[in-house]
Amino acid sequence: MTEQSTSSAHPEGRVADATLGNWVDRLAPPWSRPYLRLSRADRPIGTWLLLIPCWWSLGLAVAASPAGPTRFDLWILVGCGLGAVLMRGAGCTWNDLADREFDAAVARTRSRPLPSGQVTPRRAAIWMTAQALVALLILLSFPAPAILLGVASLALVCVYPFAKRFTWWPQVFLGLAFNWGALLGWAAQGAGLGWSPLLLYLGGIAWTLFYDTIYAHQDREDDALIGVKSTARLFGSDTARWLRRFLVAAVACLALAVAAAGLSGAALAASLAGVAGFGAHLVWQLRRLDIDDPAGCLALFRTNRDAGLILCAGLALAAIL
């Protein structure tokens, strides 16, 4: 299918699960839209979920540092944001290159730029490389340990698209990749890796298992038809019980990360309040979950940005205090 013929089959090229009226569909130049859609710029929730563990780590590291916030910490905050946009874009492009045949068989994903023919695989590969190179330039402004961690994360990014072919737990691989920023943000701040960033990382992985299992329930039937594995298919009607376990694990690890950072007084109280608010949001999601309502699952999945930002707010307040 050519790019020209696709435009009539998919008016405006909009992706099925993108937010209506998003900025890409409304404001981006027409030539750029397929590439921005490849990067999920029309669906920013993934960028938030990649970025938030970086900010958790930076906030807790600054709160635990006797020096307090510095100008370089502000650059790390901004640099992590830019890097998350670029690396999420590159990662999604790689994911779509690897999954283009699967995506063509799933109702929710067949309108994506590659299976719908809006972009050729060669152009997608060039776009992916360009994003990764710009992200590398940003990473090179960070301290050496953070650079090494950033480069090491590429192995996880490369493996993730194939995980659903060989394991029922592809969400674990997503968690390993998406929460790497909990380690990188800590290293970028200049603090040596220890129990706090490791526990943040583990808590983030448990959180990913929680939210991405909800997300995967949208495609449960299509995934079964084409043989794609997921925790949604594995857990089935027992999903709520598993999600409660992931919720408890996430909150416990995050609370232990705060404790391991050695905070005290108002900073400790602010951090733990952030953890409590995060946990309360996950409980709220669980109470509203209907695994047989795809639209509801997508809506709940998207609210995880707010859950993560609640903890960000608590850790930012702790850093200021």
pLDDT for the residue numbered 12: 67
Question: Which range of residues forms the domain containing residue 289?
Answer: 3-320
Q: Do residues 25 and 282 make contact, with C-beta atoms less than 8 angstroms apart?
A: no
Residue 300: pLDDT over 50: yes
pLDDT for the residue numbered 107: 76
pLDDT digits 0-9 by tens, 215-256: 999 989 888 888 889 999 999 999 999 999 999 999 999 999
In this prediction, what percent of the chain has a pLDDT beyond 70? 95
Total tally of structural domains belonging to the chain: 1
pLDDT for the residue numbered 10: 41
Max CA separation in the chain (angstroms): 64
pLDDT for the residue numbered 4: 34
| Calpha distance 113→121 (Å, rounded) | 10
Residue with tokens 């999954």: 99
The first and second tokens of residue 134, run together, are: 């710009």
Report the mean per-residue pLDDT for the chain.
90
pLDDT for the residue numbered 227: 86
pLDDT digits 0-9 by tens, 18-68: 777 888 888 889 999 999 999 998 889 999 999 999 999 999 999 988 776
Kindly report the length of the chain: 321
Residue 11: pLDDT over 50: no
| 34 or 72, greater pLDDT | 34
- The CATH number for 260's domain is 1.10.357.140
| Calpha distance 258→136 (Å, rounded) | 30
